[in-house]
Structure 1
């Protein structure tokens, strides 16, 4: 089965090269090309893809802004002419960093780093717990004990029925590591346990009396996961 992908690249020549390489590889089906984050975001809010070829510097929002707004974590191959974004690429847990201009062989090397979707699901969906580092120790948290996770800049706060635990991490990094069958990113600052929602009102949801915002970009994803009868 081919990998489904989109290309987000403002330079048409660079986008054409990428699409030509995808076709030549026989492994990647490009289902759409976009020239900006603003064009890509509505599509990616509704459509889940396996892979995004993503430029960093574009008119308007940057490639990293797009990753901040997505409610799921596709694999990402960054394409940019500047090596200074390599650290950010690591922070966003991207699959690879392609420095322009790149050869077809280098492109194939990137594809070789992609994980099989079944492998990715197995890594997360069977996990019933996570370990987080706090106060110099590793703390085990069962998925069912976590109500929600809240961003605090360079830190995140795990909220359970009994306690609050703060650890050095980011919402973006956690999105690719937690069980997607249990958790959902509802806002750039919040990941929630879908099983803990008590009610939803307009663009807010409530967990144990706490009001949590649902961003416009994430609302459709959240509503599609609710068992509405």
Structure 2
């Protein structure tokens, strides 16, 4: 991944923020800035979505906003939405975006967004052997695919894995089991629940719905959840 380089474009109407983003992109070893556009119409006319691996797209654009622009793309590269407010974060979740960044940009937070983009750009064949793990359930070893997990639920000294095909009871604390999971895909939203971010159907400030199950979002874990889904 260190050698991977993503070509990117900026779609930003503010000259100040465009310069700021240009600077931080040029300083990143895995990014190559190809072009900058002042609005969605200009970007659309130049087929920005067909000529880059990654788009840094500001939501609040003149003429056509960021969300409407995305909907015009027949084919879309990875998109990192940029906004001056977290207000659009809930709507952003309805789109297949890579991340959501707030202005002014934090170099550390920007780096995390790029890391996600680089991870997504990796050929899936490279990760086949890393897409599963084994647990001991009912006195036997069971292979669990990360992508099949819906959520993990605390059951005293055990945890319950709810997966696509079946459920498994495993002797483990939530804290220990949480360490086995990739934090890019799983997040603990309550003392008794860890969820698969890719299984979320909808959420608000107090609840997350995963595959039809409504799970309480603890106030103490809300910021961590928002950060995990890219709305921090």
1:112 is aligned, of 105, 112, 115, to 115
Tell whether the 8 Å contact from 2:49 to 2:77 is kept in structure 1 after alignment.
Answer: no
2:58 is aligned, of 55, 62, 85, to 55
Q: Distance in 2 between matches of 1:45 and 1:121?
A: 28
SS in 2 for 1:25: coil
Deviation per residue, 1:118-157 (Å, 9 max, x gap)? 436989xxxxxxxxxxxxxx9xxxxxxxxxxxxxxxxxxx
Q: Does 1:91 align with 2:108?
A: no
CA gap of 1:63–1:120, structure 2 versus 1, over 3 A, is farther
Tell whether the 8 Å contact from 2:54 to 2:77 is kept in structure 1 after alignment.
Answer: yes
Larger radius of gyration: 2
SS in 2 for 1:98: strand
For the aligned residue pairs, the C-alpha RMSD in angstroms reads 2.3
Question: Counterpart in 2 of 1:101?
Answer: 104
User: Structure 2 length as normaliser, TM-score?
Assistant: 0.50
Tell whether the 8 Å contact from 1:45 to 1:71 is kept in structure 2 after alignment.
Answer: no
CA gap of 1:49–1:86, structure 2 versus 1, over 3 A, is same
Q: Distance in 2 between matches of 1:35 and 1:46?
A: 15
Q: Distance in 1 between matches of 2:74 and 2:82?
A: 21
User: Structure 1 length as normaliser, TM-score?
Assistant: 0.50
Uncovered stretches (5+) of structure 2, i.e. residues with no partner: 128-163, 165-200, 202-232
CA gap of 1:42–1:102, structure 2 versus 1, over 3 A, is same
Map 1:1-229; keep pairs closer than 5 Å: 1-44=4-47, 47-114=50-117, 115-119=119-123
Tell whether the 8 Å contact from 1:45 to 1:70 is kept in structure 2 after alignment.
Answer: no
Q: Which has the higher contact order (CA 8 A, sep 6+)?
A: 1
SS in 1 for 2:81: strand
Q: Distance in 1 between matches of 2:49 and 2:104?
A: 31
Q: Distance in 1 between matches of 2:125 and 2:91?
A: 25
SS in 2 for 1:5: strand
May I ask how many residue pairs the two structures share in their alignment? 125
Tell whether the 8 Å contact from 2:52 to 2:77 is kept in structure 1 after alignment.
Answer: yes
Tell whether the 8 Å contact from 1:2 to 1:29 is kept in structure 2 after alignment.
Answer: yes
Question: Counterpart in 1 of 2:138?
Answer: none
Uncovered stretches (5+) of structure 1, i.e. residues with no partner: 124-137, 139-168, 170-229
